[in-house]
Amino acid sequence: MTAPTKPPHHSPADTVSGPPAGEQPPAATTDPATTDPVTAGQASGTHLHSPVIDWFDDHARDLPWRRPEAGAWGVMVSEFMLQQTPVSRVLPVYEQWLARWPRPADLAAESPGEAVRAWGRLGYPRRALRLHGAAVAITERHAGDVPADHAQLLALPGIGEYTAAAVASFAYGQRHAVLDTNVRRVFARAVTGVRYPPNATTAAERKLARALLPEDEKVAARWAAASMELGALVCTARNETCHRCPIAARCAWRLAGKPEHDGPARRGQTYAGTDRQVRGKLLAVLREAHTPVAQAELDRVWHEPVQRARALDGLVSDGLVEPLAGGLYRLPLT
Ligand code: SF4
């Protein structure tokens, strides 16, 4: 990605020490319950766009799905993989995936089980099935081209509001609110003035995100990517580095003295000992095997029979594993 020359008045070090002359930050809105998101967004948006986009021009990571050659399919694949999995783990799988299936039709021609196999250890493997289902639908309904229209994207199987908006914005430069975990955290802090957003996305957050969108389509697409990158690199969940932040002088949470989180307890990310871990172990055996696997072989991966059976049943009902006669199992062929 080519980084344009950075305007000197937008260097992060400058903005931390105070707003530019004659420009005051919007008032900190520390009580989200009484804050109208549209008003807050309109008041803050224009102050935030330029510094965040300028920062992005200088600091955006050079990731393969951001290169022009990735195309809409590359963007879509990355969006499926990046939900709940960090960039470092996604990168090698993404490269292999695109090398093997450079177009939706290439993936659609394979069995869903091959998608699950190639998904490897990215976790939450139902995403592989959904991506395969989307590739089939793109091939059948859109002659193999990822649609640009938001409604058509949303109508694809396995594609929700977030992914439709992300593909339309990142691949096609359209104006959509793209509200992922990182963006929600940046908005919660910079605009609403709280440490963390709610556990699940609320209508108020969506309203705020829409109010914050720049009017110009291309600027809006850049803003979506830039605010997401700011949350990923600077305004991180536990160690926000405000001294590197281009909007520190305008950040409502920082200006309010960084009040502690007083909302509901945040969800943990436990893995060891959970059904998720057992499912992962069972699926790893099936990914390695190229012929059906006997129940006895699966039984070796986990000591506790009730939990093991529950995990296997879950994989079957999710369509990730296909049971065969004679107590054999394999990745799904159809
Ligand atoms: S100033 Fe700190 S808390 Fe506020 S948006 Fe920037 S990094 Fe996040």
The pLDDT of residue 268: 67
Residue nearest atom 2 of ligand 1, based on CA coordinates: 242
Active site residue 95: no
Q: Note whether 186 and 301 are same-domain residues.
A: no
Ligand 1 atom with the shortest distance to the CA of 185? 8
Q: Note whether 248 and 307 are same-domain residues.
A: no
> Is position 9 within any domain?
no
> Is position 1 within any domain?
no
CATH number of 280's domain: 1.10.10
> Is position 153 within any domain?
yes
Residue nearest atom 5 of ligand 1, based on CA coordinates: 190
Segment (H or E) for 201 = none
- Could you write out the DSSP letters of every residue in 253-309? HHHTT-PPP-SSPPPP---TTSHHHHHHHHHHHHHH-SS-EEHHHHHTT-S-HHHHH
Of the candidates 260, 288, 318, which is a domain's last residue?
A: 260
Gap from CA of 248 to ligand 1 centroid (Å): 5
> Is position 266 within any domain?
no
Q: Note whether 175 and 225 are same-domain residues.
A: yes
Q: Note whether 256 and 128 are same-domain residues.
A: yes
Burial of 17 (0-12, 13-18, 19+ CB in 10 A): exposed
Q: Note whether 158 and 70 are same-domain residues.
A: yes
Per the structure, the count of domains in the chain is 2
Q: Note whether 314 and 180 are same-domain residues.
A: no
> Is position 2 within any domain?
no
- Domain boundaries, position 62: 14-260
Q: Note whether 167 and 293 are same-domain residues.
A: no
> Is position 255 within any domain?
yes
Residue nearest atom 8 of ligand 1, based on CA coordinates: 235
pLDDT under 50: residue ranges of the chain: 1-34
> Is position 7 within any domain?
no
Q: Note whether 139 and 226 are same-domain residues.
A: yes
Residue nearest atom 1 of ligand 1, based on CA coordinates: 248
Q: Is 3 left (phi over 0), alpha (psi -120 to 50) or beta?
A: beta
Q: Note whether 76 and 99 are same-domain residues.
A: yes
pLDDT cut 70: percent of the chain above it: 86
What secondary structure letter does DSSP report for 249?
Answer: G
The pLDDT of residue 43: 59
Q: Note whether 89 and 191 are same-domain residues.
A: yes
Gap from CA of 188 to ligand 1 centroid (Å): 10
> Is position 229 within any domain?
yes
Maximal CA-CA distance, the chain? 78
CATH number of 171's domain: 1.10.340.30
The pLDDT of residue 14: 27
Which tokens hold the place of 68? 């022009």
* 234 close to ligand 1 (CB < 6 Angstrom): yes
Segment (H or E) for 328 = strand 328-330
Q: Note whether 219 and 298 are same-domain residues.
A: no
Catalytic, out of 23, 69, 79, 322: 79
Q: Note whether 209 and 313 are same-domain residues.
A: no
**Whole-number Å distance between alpha carbons of 138 and 157:** 10
